[in-house]
Amino acid sequence: MTDVKSDKSNKSASGWSRRDVLKASSVGAVGAATPMFFTKNAWADGHDAIGNYPVKGSEVVFGFNVPQTGAYADEGADELRAYKLAVKHLNNGGGMLETLKPSKLTGNGVLGKKVTYVTGDTQTNADASRTSARRMIERDKVIMVTGGSSSGIAIAQQYLCHELGIIFMCGLTHSNDTTGKDKRRYGFRHFFNAHMTGKALAPVLSSEYGKDRRAFHLTADYSWGHTQQESMQQFTEAEGWATEGNIMTPLKTTDFSQYLAQVLNSDADVLVLNHYGANMVNSLTNAVNFGMRDMQKNGKNLEIVVPLYSRLMAKGAGSTNIDGVLGTSGWNWALQDEGSKVFVKAFTDEYGFPPSQAAHTCYVQTLLYANACEMAGTFYPPAVIKALEDFEFDGAGNGSTLYRGVDHQCIKSMLVMKGKSPSARTSDFDYLEVLQEVDRATADYDPSIFPGELGPYKPA
């Protein structure tokens, strides 16, 4: 009997204590952990807390999440240079602060707080970019996250930031989805998109190469590639071109000869490479090796088109390969407007070489966010979002620009670029020349052609 009793008491004692330890520690942990993140101490200057608002202390932190490892690391490095420059200008004046109009930026921080920043590595991996963004948001208390060098990464972070109530200012992302199907209230894109590329490029192509052309598309098999191909097909067909074929190429492809063999077998006289980064470098180089630049089809010169151009890609492919090839860019350091000139000068003074288009869009995004906070008079995200929506500005390098409210896409002028021949180049940063500036009205489009909802101003 006694044995049983003692056993029982023993059991209950030990069982109770075990459960109690768990319970007590978890309750304690919840209690202690709560103040460490998302302190919902409401009603600071009349607004409830969202994300990392209200900003405490005399500093405000921005989060710069760029690719530091992987294929886009060089582009990421240039983005980071631009961000650091933007922070410098926000705190001390200079750069585009002198040309941006209208602007409430003082050159003395934002809303009286000094701007500081933290950096992260997206690894061009959606999961890694989200974990990195979370670190900035939860540990470093950033009020805004910006960066990225591909659309998948931008979209992944845009969703995360929307959920956590942090504004995300996209870096380089060109897919229609970013401000189309996957648009988010907390995400903003200054860069142009695939649809705008098609709209701007197709008329130039038909005036350069004629209306009676047959195009063959090679398309990277992911969302950006698909939207780029659709847009190019739609707008070139509107110009009277025929579409001879389209092959989806896996993103991991490094050798495109099996696809080029099929292009050569068709009647096409224009090859459209809907590729970016390493894909584009490889497919263009392969095409040149196949002699496509010196070939005649249907009695015309066979032409190659690269809808989205960047300086790093052009450099990677080599100027003998890109000589004369047409494509589009958002911005180029050779532009002669006031905004571009001061930005290029400030960047070159700081780093010794001119900025890339990725650097430009990242720099402008940071300034636009800071300016919206000044205009709203608060860091309260819904107010900042409203200040950015339908904001009309000038002096940031693309002429008069609208941050469209319904889809958070910047509507602005853009560039049709042409690859320079090796002899025409003046420096290691001079690979592309501006063939034509396409004005804002031409690039503009009806946002309702894309599905998607921005979602609420206050995150769920």
Partner 1 sequence: MFDLSINAFFMQLLTGLQMGSIYVLIALGLTLIFGTLGVVNFAHGALYLVAIYLAVSINDAMGFGMALVLVPTILFILGLAMERGLIQFFYNRPHTDQILVTFGLAIVIQELLKWVFGANNIPFAIPSWGNGIILMHEWFPFLEGFVVYPKWRMILVVVSIVTVSAVFALLHWTTFGLVIRAGMRDSEMLQFLGVNINRRFMIVFGLGSLIAGIAGVFGGPVTQVSPEVGMHLLVPSFLVVVIGGMGSLSGAVLAGILIGMAQSFTAYDINLSTIIIYLITVIVLLVRPRGLLGAKGVFE
Partner 2 sequence: MNIQQGFLQRNKAVVIFALIALTMPFWFPLLGGYSGLDTKIMIFCIFVVGFDLLLGYTGYLSFGHAAFFGIAAYTTGLMLKDFSAQIIPAIMVAVLVSTLVAVIIGLLTLKRTGIYFSILTLAFAEMFHSMAMAMLQEWTGGENGLTGMPTPMLAGIKMQGDAVFYLVTLVAIIMFYIAKRIERSPVGLMMRAIKCNQQRLEYTGINARKYKLLTFVISAMYAGLAGALMVVYEPFVGHEFLGWHQSGEIVIMSVIGGVGTLVGPMLGAGFMLYFENVLSVDLGEQWLLVLGFIFMAVVIFMPGGFMEALSRLYKRIKQE
Residues 207-246 binding partner 1 (CB under 8 A) are 221
Count residues contacting partner 2 (CB under 8 A)? 56
Say which entry of partner 1, partner 2, none residue 301 contacts (CB below 5 to 8 A, set by partner kind): none
Residue closer to partner 1 (CB basis): 308 or 387: 308
x/- track of binding to partner 2 for residues 189-228 (CB under 8 A): --------------------------------xxxx----
33 binds partner 2 (CB under 8 A): yes
Contacts of 100 (CB under 8 A, 6+ apart): 339, 367, 371, 393, 394, 395, 396
Say which entry of partner 2, partner 1, none residue 48 contacts (CB below 5 to 8 A, set by partner kind): none
Residues 272-311 binding partner 1 (CB under 8 A) are 278, 281-282, 285, 289-291, 295
Stretch that binds partner 1, among 71-79, 181-189, 222-230, 346-354 (CB under 8 A): 71-79
Judged by CB under 8 A, the residue of 38, 47, 48, 74 near partner 1 is: 74
- What's the rounded Cα separation, in Å, for the pair 184 and 67? 22
- The answer to whether the CB of 99 falls within 8 A of the CB of 153 is no
* Encoded tokens for 111: 């809303």
264 binds partner 1 (CB under 8 A): yes
Residues 226-265 binding partner 2 (CB under 8 A) are 248, 250-251
x/- track of binding to partner 1 for residues 324-353 (CB under 8 A): ------------------------------
Backbone phi and psi for residue 304, each to the nearest 5 degrees, phi listed first? -115, 135
* Encoded tokens for 151: 């659309």
351 binds partner 2 (CB under 8 A): no
Count residues contacting partner 1 (CB under 8 A)? 36
Residue closer to partner 2 (CB basis): 399 or 455: 455
149 binds partner 2 (CB under 8 A): no
9 binds partner 1 (CB under 8 A): no
Stretch that binds partner 1, among 54-62, 152-160, 171-179, 255-263 (CB under 8 A): 255-263
303 binds partner 2 (CB under 8 A): no
Residue closer to partner 2 (CB basis): 110 or 133: 133
Residue closer to partner 1 (CB basis): 73 or 111: 73
177 binds partner 2 (CB under 8 A): yes
Stretch that binds partner 2, among 25-33, 103-111, 356-364, 378-386 (CB under 8 A): 25-33
Q: Can you name the residues that pair with 21 across neighbouring β-strands?
A: none
159 binds partner 2 (CB under 8 A): yes
Chain residues binding partner 2 by CB under 8 A are 3, 7, 10-11, 14-15, 18, 21-22, 25-26, 29-30, 32-34, 36-38, 68-69, 73, 77, 118-121, 125-128, 130-132, 134-135, 138-139, 151-152, 155-156, 159-160, 163, 175, 177, 182, 221-224, 248, 250-251, 460
Q: Which residues bind partner 1 (CB under 8 A)?
A: 69-74, 221, 247-250, 252, 254-255, 257-259, 261-262, 264-265, 278, 281-282, 285, 289-291, 295, 312, 315-318, 320-321
